[in-house]
Structure 1
Amino acid sequence: MKTIQNILFLGMLLLFSLSSCGDNERESVDLSANVDIKSFSINGTQGVIDASKLTITVMMPTGTDLSNLTAAVEIPEGAELSPASGTAIDYRYSDKTPIEYHVMNGNIYNKYKVIVKEIKAEITSFVIGSRTGIIDQEAKTVLIYVPDGSDITQLTPIVRYTDGATITPADGLAVDFSNSVTYTLSYLGNTFSYVVSVIIGNEPVLPLVIYNGEDIVPQWWTVGSAGDISSNFANPKSNALNSTPYCASIWRNPGDDDWTGGGLGGLNIDPTVYDHFTLLVWKEYAGDVQLEIQGDGADNQRLKVRYLGDALGEWQKLEFSLPEGHGLTKIHAILVAPQITGTKDDPNFLGHRMYWDQLIANPQ
């Protein structure tokens, strides 16, 4: 009986000790620390901080190079910031992929999303009838083709442009396009001009960018046994072939299925117009890359191209062509497998990250 009493006593003592330890641990967790960014500025331009949404927006003067800017960030005493204040950052694509800043203090943290934009207004769409203009944002030009027989002295464009800007000639106004016409946007005290030219004739078919990681960023879904996928992964090696900062990426495990990668749906591509595709691929393992083209009118088309072993660890541009008589009438989805060649039986393949970028449909 005494033995049973001792066991009970020791059990109660152990429970009390564990309870006391848990209380002490809870008491050591500090949830009162301040993790708010107090100010955020770049070259003297103050950012607008939205404390409820944890966002910061900085509007830089027109002409600012956004590719290498350093921010001065004020945080509470005792807090830590990553990336640190004064770190040079490429903000060129932050309006699509905001830069994340983490403020850590004690046991808590905040994650802010920072968008840095140059003050500028743009024409984003220029339509006359059923024809859509070709806009060159660098050259500030719009080129639009209209059908034969069109009276170009009385055309009424539908123009879309930056919210908050004003435009002249006014949207919806009939305009004589016998000669090129300059459209001027006024925005936040600045003016931006586009030269619009109208040509009578058939419009050319231009390459169609399906994904590029920066401003055309549909979300890839995982295919096969891919454990994770990113549509905005950092470019592992910027070079002349691919100097943009973001790409798509998966981690390939040794035991993954051959058909492991990513897919894009919701496409509406005419394969009678676009019959070949280009894709940039970066990896450190030679083997076939496969595109699977899915759509109406025929079976899925699986197109393979070799990623060469003599240029491992470099961006390679691969071209995939639909075969003659493929039968597809509409393309709805494209799947990418960056390593269709099996790796399960290769003792030298330990798994690594693979990347692709710049998926483009090209006309015949």
Structure 2
Amino acid sequence: METINALIFFLLLLLYNYAMFAYNSFIYMPRMELWKIIFLTSIINSLLFIIPQAIHIDNIGPMVLYVICYTIQFNYIYKKNFLSCLFFSMAFMLNLYGIGLMSGGVISLVVPGSLAVHRTDSVLRMITTIFSLLPAILEIVIIRAVIKKEKIDRFLSHRKSVQMAVLIMGIVFLYSLTVINVNNYQMIDDIRIAVLNIKVGLICITGFLIAIGYGYIFAIMNLYQKQFENYATLIQKEQESIHELSLTVQKDSFTGLYLRDVAIERMQFYKKNSMQFYTIFVDMDGLKTVNDIYGHNEGDFYIQQVVEILKRNFIGTIVSRIGGDEFLITGTSYDLDTPLQNTLMLYEEVKAIKVKNDKHYNTSISYGLVNIDETARFDVENIIKIADERMYEFKQVNKKERKVKKIYK
């Protein structure tokens, strides 16, 4: 019976070892083939589990030994910094220890007798081992399937997040080991000891989850902060570049706006630096009619009014005149709302030109917006094409609406 128990224990340990090092090899590139890692570490870790039980070293000593030995193994196999190796070692051991305490506590409640008796009963010890290692193995498999590698990489790339996670797990580990070690030697009834084991086991698993969760959130916040700082630097450089362009680049002689090439160059700059930007294609409605009926001076007045509104609503962006009545706007934004709101304000203010200046003709624009959530998916040529197509669709819809209004008038 002892031989069968030992064989089952070794197979379970082999499975756990495989799950643990397969996961670490999924995160890091190992120095040797996986089967060699499993073979060597299974022998070492079997001895680590057997020796403390054979010489009756209880609780704190073995757990500290396991953490140290796993850390050394991870460091040797994956050649990563000590802190990352300690993190993985503590994460695996704290989780396994918590599951083991819960399994032992539940079995003690179901099967009569004290924990001390259960530890000497080979069958109960084997059942406890099975219900400790199998859930731990399953948990590693689920974590690998659910949590993407890039999320783990993101977490591990931030040293302070890993330090915080290790600190949280270390505190939980020391608390759990101390409580279990003290209370197991006090005169407490078996049920209370079993319940205590379950509670401390839950604390271990909760501590493990909190350490990972808070560490990941902290790492994400740091990443976003760095991205924001880099983005702010790029924005500042961009504003300086725009200011320099305003002083040096040749502009449209009539409106003082940039030429088409400047807008395209700026869009290419945004794409190259992975910046969030939007592009708007604007076309003045009815300019030809105004020129034909009221003369070119009135048409020029209409253009100048629209240009002033464009400059006012899109400060710090590139506004280019690409044709007689067509404009291309491109600029950066942190959110989706700002480009759309500015465009709608432009539309309303252009419509108000008629009333404000007591004109007899309608003033309006058609526009096509490609917002910051879309520009990342297309090249510059296609962004302009899509903006142009949307502007044309807008113009066609407005023409139909005007025809309906005239019919009903």
Identify, as 1 or 2, the structure richer in strand: 1
Shorter-chain TM-score: which interval?
A: under 0.3
Could you say which structure has the greater relative contact order, defined with CA pairs below 8 angstroms and 6 or more residues apart?
Answer: 2
TM norm structure 1 = 0.26
TM norm structure 2 = 0.23
Q: Which has the larger radius of gyration?
A: 2
Identify, as 1 or 2, the structure richer in helix: 2
